[in-house]
Amino acid sequence: MHLGSCECHAVQYQFSGDPLTCYACHCTDCQTSSGSAFSLSMIVNDKHIELRKGKVAINVIDMNGVNVNKHHCSDCGSALWFSADEYPGMAALKPGTFDDTSWFEPIAHLWVRSKQSWLVLEATVRQYDTQVEISELVGLWAEKYAV
Ligand SMILES: [Zn+2]
Ligand SMILES: [Zn+2]
């Protein structure tokens, strides 16, 4: 079981399953929404996320024609996880919100063609120029973590 929280700690959640995969995305949308060089996403079953305290608000964002629900702290606005009607039962957790981030690493880098130029990636981690099928990322995770 892993605990996570938003920046102001009004929201605390627990994650009690095994991730399906975890990757870093360097697309320009992720750079804008994170205000950083890339974003981390951990794909999980949403039933494994449980709110322990606080209130999560939802904004609906149009991402390339798909309505995506951004679940965030209603006080400080930290993004906690994303969901979409297109992917029922799934969530893309923002794993930087875990209290302890030492137990996982991203198994791939996506949209490397738009990565910020100063960032040097480990050659041993899989890199994709653009998007890749989620099933491939699930396979890479299973190989590394033997689930
Ligand atoms: Zn907060
Ligand atoms: Zn992205």
107/16 Cα distance (integer angstroms): 20
Ligand 1 center from residue 101 Cα (angstroms): 18
Domain encompassing residue 72: 2-135
Which CATH number goes with the domain that contains 96?
3.90.1590.10
Cα dist from 101 to 17, 105, 112, whole Å: 15, 8, 23
Structurally, how many domains does the chain consist of? 1
CA of 68 to the centre of ligand 2 (A): 13
Task: Determine the distance separating the centroid of ligand 1 and the alpha carbon of 105, expressed in angstroms.
Answer: 24
Cα(104) to ligand 1 centroid in Å equals: 23
Rounded CA separation 139/136 (Å): 5
pLDDT (tens, 9 = 90+) of the chain, 147 residues, equals: 999 999 999 999 999 999 999 999 999 999 998 999 999 999 999 999 999 999 999 999 988 788 999 999 999 999 999 999 999 999 999 999 999 999 999 999 999 999 999 999 999 999 999 999 999 999 999 999 986
Whether 140 is in a domain gets the answer no
CA distances to 15, 58, 70, 91, 102 from 84, rounded to whole Å, are 19, 11, 9, 8, 28
Residue 145 is assigned to a structural domain of this protein = no
Does a structural domain hold residue 143?
no
Residue whose C-alpha is closest to residue 138's, from 98, 104, 103, 107: 107
Question: Quick check: is 36 in a domain?
Answer: yes
